[in-house]
Amino acid sequence: MKKVILPLLVALLSSGQASAWGFFGHRIINQIAVYELPSSMQPFYYRHLNEIVRQSTAPDERRNSDPTEGPRHFIDMDHYSEDNPFAKVPKEYDKAVEKYSADTLKKYGTVPWVVLETKDNLVKAFRDGDTLAIVKYSAELGHYVGDAFVPLHTTVNYDGQLTDQKGLHSLWESQLPERFILDYKLLDDKPSASYIKDPLNAIWLVIQQSYGFLGETFDRASKIEKTMPPTVRYTFSHRYGKTQRRYSDAFADAYEKAVGGMVNYRLKGAPTLVSSLWLTAWQEAGKPDLNAMMRPTKATKEEKEKLAIELAAWKKNTLAQDQLLLAQQKTKKAEAADEIKPAKEMAPVHAPEPEPEAAPAPASEASAPDAPAVDKVKVKTKGKDGSEKIKKKAKQEESPSGW
């Protein structure tokens, strides 16, 4: 019997399973979102940065204990139609329920509505002046928005399992960012939070754009498969009498060359929508004075200096190189939130001018300068053997090791 060596076991635990951005990506998204906030919100969020980052993975962590959690992280658009499903699925939850039933929506994913629900919870937390709830819902809003940015969260073929590309999910969203973070740029083209008039529409645009990247996600992998033999393409490991397969580093390197721009583009785009939804929730709640909820109130000298260093590194794209990403560090223990200040004592503070839209351009015309070209969407739904599409949504498991 083969002995599983430790590095292999760690690799196995952290990939080869369908997750969501991996813990690494979710932590990065929430950290960068804090950097994009206006001065009226940033000191509060920076004070709680560790928790905002730590709790970014809470929704994934509770999937094992809560069977209702899984479908909240994705929406299988191609289940509804393989021909422009966005014209068919109603954007409003109630209308979608009317057309397809609540059970169907639950089965094929509810992420756009979960984003809205979490945003509304955040509005309430701001109104209540509840620091713990503000931190929790901000962190979790960041998680679900981050999930919506992942193309493989919009298809029934979410792990390439229907096209003999099983393992594609964690390759795309964990293996690549973890392996190439030093090459990735984390500064968005428009790196600041702005008010969003129609959050539901904004999150649907993101999902549509993610869906637009699916063709490329599958096809670029197929292209590499044609020239790279399976012995090089995969790493095999043996555990509990089962042989497990994951994509090799050699394949990851080739795939990064082929689609890395796309992964980086989605990773750096997510924080802008996250910070914009935090800002939007705060404005909807009447712009409570967040400084008044801090003990000590206002940023300390040390916090200001630390933040200045991080912001400078972010703008130079050296956060990863300078080891300033919390995702690169060991998980910290939970920290106690500040004492809660009653909402009535709060005074409104200055807020930036509202802007109509913060979402990126829709999928079909993704046009940011460093965005890869979007191929025509071809969502493969038949296996190699021509077998019918299996519309089984296996419970998506999480990387138990975390990061």
Residues near Zn ion (CB under 5 A)? 20, 60, 73, 147
Terminal alpha carbon distance of the chain: 30
Nearest distance in Å: CB 21, Zn ion? 7
Closer CB to Zn ion, 163 or 396, in the complex: 396
Closer CB to Zn ion, 147 or 188, in the complex: 147
- 296 upstream amide cis, omega within 30 of 0: yes
Q: Are 29 and 328 in contact (CB under 8 A)?
A: no
Closest C-alpha among 122, 120, 118, 121 to residue 145: 118
Nearest distance in Å: CB 45, Zn ion? 21
Closer CB to Zn ion, 51 or 69, in the complex: 69
Closer CB to Zn ion, 117 or 253, in the complex: 117
**CA 365 to chain CA centroid, nearest Å:** 21
Instruction: Tell me how far apart the alpha carbons of residues 105 and 71 are, in angstroms, rounded to a whole number.
Output: 9
Nearest distance in Å: CB 263, Zn ion? 16
Nearest distance in Å: CB 337, Zn ion? 24
Nearest distance in Å: CB 290, Zn ion? 27
Give the Å distances, CA to CA, from 282 to 40, 129, 182, 263, 276.
10, 11, 33, 30, 10
Closer CB to Zn ion, 73 or 246, in the complex: 73
Nearest distance in Å: CB 23, Zn ion? 10
Q: Give the CB-nearest residue to Zn ion.
A: 20
Instruction: Tell me how far apart the alpha carbons of residues 88 and 96 are, in angstroms, rounded to a whole number.
Output: 9
Name residue, tokens 């999150």.
203
Angle between helices 214-227 and 199-212 (to 10 degrees): 20
Phi first, then psi: give them for residue 239, nearest 5 degrees. -155, 135
Nearest distance in Å: CB 141, Zn ion? 12
Closer CB to Zn ion, 237 or 399, in the complex: 399
Tokens of 338: 């500040």
Phi first, then psi: give them for residue 30, nearest 5 degrees. -70, -35
Closer CB to Zn ion, 36 or 60, in the complex: 60
Nearest distance in Å: CB 304, Zn ion? 33
Name residue, tokens 């019997």.
1
Nearest distance in Å: CB 29, Zn ion? 11
Closer CB to Zn ion, 148 or 320, in the complex: 148
Closer CB to Zn ion, 19 or 194, in the complex: 19
DSSP 104-129: HHHHH--HHHHHHHHHHHHHHHHHHT
Closer CB to Zn ion, 113 or 314, in the complex: 113
**CA 297 to chain CA centroid, nearest Å:** 31
With H, G, I as helix, E, B as strand and everything else as coil, classify residue 371.
Answer: coil
Nearest distance in Å: CB 215, Zn ion? 23
Instruction: Tell me how far apart the alpha carbons of residues 335 and 46 are, in angstroms, rounded to a whole number.
Output: 13
Phi first, then psi: give them for residue 295, nearest 5 degrees. -125, 110
Side chain identity at residue 283, one-letter code: Q
Chain length of the chain: 403
Instruction: Tell me how far apart the alpha carbons of residues 261 and 258 are, in angstroms, rounded to a whole number.
Output: 8
For residue 345, count CB atoms less than 10 angstroms from its CB and return exposed for 0-12, middle for 13-18, buried for 19 or more. Answer: exposed
